[in-house]
C-alpha cells in the first residue's frame, strides 16, 4: 500500500511539472510570434483571447481536428513513432531541471550528462521522420539536421566541460549553488556566447534552420506530416528550445538564484527567477530569428568545426590552467 502511495505521489509530481511546461510551450509560441511581429512592425497574433494569448490553443485545436495523412509508401511504424519520440524526449529532460533548492523532480548525480544525453537523442525524431516519409525533401532535411546537430553537440559538450571545471560536480543543483557568489557568465562569457549560438543550431532555430529551409526543402523533415503529428513535432521543437534556455540559465546565469542577495530581490521565490531567466534567453532566441538571415550550409559546418570547437577547446585549457595556477580548483 505504501509503495502504491509513493507511486501515485510521483505521478502527481510529474503532472505538476509537465502541465506547466506544456502550457508554457503554448505561451512561448505566442511570445515568439509576437516578438517576431514586433521587430517587423506588424501586430502579430492578437485576436484570440486577451492579446491573442489563446492563439496557440486555437491552432492546436485546429490540428487536432485535421485529418492525419500517412503517405502510402512510407514506413508506417517509424513514421508514426517519429513525432512521439521528439515530443517524449523534449519532455523527459525536464525531470532533472532544478526550479529551486527543494523543487526538483529527480536530483541525480549526473544531471548535466542526462540533459546532454537527452538533447543528443533529439536527432532521432528528425532522422526517423525524414527517412520514414520516403520522400526527397524530408530525407535531405533529415540528413542536414543530423549532421548539424551532431556537429554542434560536440561544442556544447566542450562548453559543459568548461563549466564543470569551475563547479566540480555534475549535479545540476550543485552547479547552481556554486554560482552563489559569481554567475559563471562573467568568467566564461565567451563560452556563454558560443553556447547560445550552438543552442540555436542544436534546436534548428533561425539562422540555422537549414533542415526546414522553406526556400530549398519545402518544410524539411516535416513536409509529409499533417494534423496532430505535425503539431507534436512543433510542440516538441518549442519544448526543446525552452529546455535549451533552461540549460543556459542553469549553466551560466545562476539558475534559480537571484542576481543580488538583497531585500527586494530575495523575497521573490526561486522558480520565478529561473522562469525570468529562461524568458530572457527565449526573447533573445526570438529576436535573432527576426533579425539574422539564414546561414549557408557550408558556413554552418565551418563555424561549428573550425571555429567553435578549437576555440572552446583552447578555453578549456585556459580555464584549467587558470584554476590550477590560482589554486581555485573546486574540491580542494
Partner 1 sequence: MIAHAIVFYIFSLIAIVSAIMVTVSKNTVNSVFFLILDFISISCLFIMIGAEFLGMIMLIVYVGAVAVLFLFVVMMLNVAQQKNEWFNSSVRSSHIPVGLLVSIIIFFELIIVIGGWKYKPDLLDSIAIEINTDLTNTQSLGSVIYTDYIHLFQLSGMVLLVAMIGAIVLTFRQRSGVKRQSYFKQISRDRKDGIELVDVENNKGVKIDA
Q: Please write down the HEC assignment for all residues of 108-160.
A: CCCHHHHHHHHHHHCHHHHHHHHHHCCCHHHHHHHHHHHHHHHHHHHHHHHHH
The least distance separating partner 1 from the CB of residue 75, rounded to whole angstroms, comes to: 8
Nearer to partner 1, 52 or 141 (CB): 141
Residues at the contact surface with partner 1, assessed by CB under 8 A: 3, 75, 78, 108-110, 113-114, 116-117, 120-121, 123-124, 127-128, 131, 139, 143, 146, 150, 153, 157, 170, 298-299
Nearer to partner 1, 59 or 107 (CB): 107
Nearer to partner 1, 146 or 235 (CB): 146
Task: Write out the three cell numbers for 86.
Answer: 521528439
The least distance separating partner 1 from the CB of residue 60, rounded to whole angstroms, comes to: 29
The least distance separating partner 1 from the CB of residue 116, rounded to whole angstroms, comes to: 6
The least distance separating partner 1 from the CB of residue 24, rounded to whole angstroms, comes to: 26
CA distance 212 to 50: 31
8 Å CB contact between 84 and 232? yes
8 Å CB contact between 60 and 26? yes
Nearer to partner 1, 221 or 273 (CB): 221
Nearer to partner 1, 42 or 136 (CB): 136
Could you give phi then psi for residue 274, rounded to 5 degrees?
Answer: -60, -45
The least distance separating partner 1 from the CB of residue 37, rounded to whole angstroms, comes to: 34
Sort 109 into a burial class: Cβ within 10 Å, 0-12 / 13-18 / 19+.
exposed
Amino acid at each position: 500500500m505504501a509503495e502504491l502511495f509513493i507511486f501515485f505521489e510521483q505521478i502527481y509530481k510529474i503532472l505538476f511539472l509537465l502541465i506547466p511546461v506544456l502550457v508554457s510551450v503554448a505561451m512561448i509560441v505566442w511570445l515568439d510570434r509576437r516578438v517576431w511581429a514586433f521587430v517587423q512592425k506588424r501586430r502579430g497574433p492578437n485576436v484570440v483571447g486577451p492579446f491573442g494569448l489563446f492563439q496557440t490553443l486555437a491552432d492546436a485545436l485546429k490540428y487536432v481536428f485535421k485529418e492525419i495523412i500517412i503517405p502510402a509508401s512510407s514506413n508506417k511504424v517509424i513514421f508514426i513513432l517519429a513525432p512521439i519520440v521528439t515530443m517524449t524526449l523534449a519532455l523527459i529532460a525536464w525531470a532533472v531541471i532544478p526550479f529551486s533548492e527543494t523543487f526538483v523532480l529527480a536530483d541525480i548525480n549526473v544531471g548535466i550528462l542526462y540533459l546532454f544525453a537527452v538533447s543528443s537523442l533529439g536527432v532521432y525524431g528528425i532522422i526517423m521522420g525524414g527517412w520514414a516519409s520516403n520522400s526527397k525533401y524530408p530525407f535531405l532535411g533529415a540528413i542536414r539536421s543530423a549532421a548539424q546537430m551532431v556537429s554542434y553537440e560536440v561544442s556544447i559538450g566542450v562548453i559543459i566541460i568548461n563549466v564543470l571545471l569551475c563547479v566540480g560536480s555534475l549535479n545540476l543543483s550543485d552547479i547552481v549553488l556554486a554560482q552563489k557568489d559569481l554567475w559563471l557568465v562573467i568568467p566564461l562569457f565567451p563560452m556563454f556566447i558560443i553556447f547560445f549560438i550552438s543552442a540555436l543550431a542544436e534546436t534548428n532555430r533561425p539562422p540555422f534552420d537549414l533542415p526546414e529551409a522553406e526556400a530549398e526543402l519545402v518544410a524539411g523533415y516535416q513536409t509529409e506530416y499533417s494534423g496532430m503529428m505535425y503539431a507534436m513535432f512543433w510542440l516538441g521543437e518549442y519544448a526543446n528550445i525552452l529546455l535549451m534556455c533552461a540549460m543556459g540559465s542553469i549553466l551560466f546565469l545562476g539558475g534559480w538564484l537571484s542576481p543580488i542577495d538583497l531585500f527586494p530581490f530575495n523575497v521573490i521565490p526561486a522558480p520565478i527567477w529561473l522562469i525570468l531567466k529562461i524568458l530572457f534567453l527565449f526573447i533573445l532566441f526570438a529576436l535573432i530569428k527576426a533579425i539574422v538571415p539564414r546561414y549557408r550550409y557550408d558556413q554552418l559546418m565551418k563555424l561549428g568545426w573550425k571555429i567553435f570547437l578549437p576555440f572552446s577547446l583552447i578555453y578549456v585549457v585556459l580555464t584549467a590552467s587558470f584554476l590550477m595556477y590560482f589554486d581555485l580548483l573546486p574540491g580542494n
